[in-house]
Amino acid sequence: MQKEEFKNFISKIDGLINEESCYVLYSLLKDLNMKADVLEVGAYKGRVSVALAMAIKERNDKSKIFSIDFNYFKTKEEFLYN
């Protein structure tokens, strides 16, 4: 997936990590030359999780992604204030 297409898609998902950083993580995992399961702790609303899942899908391997978050806050502002 081209960079601008990726950033346009990922920008539709709320997150604390910007689109450029998501693209870097996506690219690193996509180009990794080995099967690698991924664990993300602190996923918030899943922006990075989706980016990583897209990379795994494009690699067409059997890697898995596990995404965990214990977000008890109702709004992004409450989360950031904490």
Question: For residue 10, what are its two tokens?
Answer: 């990922």
Parallel, antiparallel or unpaired: strands 65-68 and 38-41: parallel
Determine contact, residues 65/36, Cβ cutoff 8 Å: no
Q: What's 39's DSSP letter?
A: E
Enumerate the β-bridge partners of residue 67.
Answer: 40
Total domains, the chain: 1
- Residue 80 pLDDT level (bands cut at 50, 70, 90): confident
- Each residue of 16-66: pLDDT tens digit? 999 999 999 999 999 998 998 999 998 888 999 999 999 999 999 899 999
pLDDT for the residue 76: 77
pLDDT for the residue 82: 66
Mean per-residue pLDDT, 9-14: 96
Phi, psi angle pair for 41, to nearest 5°: -110, 125
**Segment (H or E) for 68:** strand 65-68
Other CB atoms within a 10 A radius of the CB of residue 47 amount to 21
Domain that holds residue 50: 3-81
Cα–Cα nearest to 11, from 23, 2, 1: 23
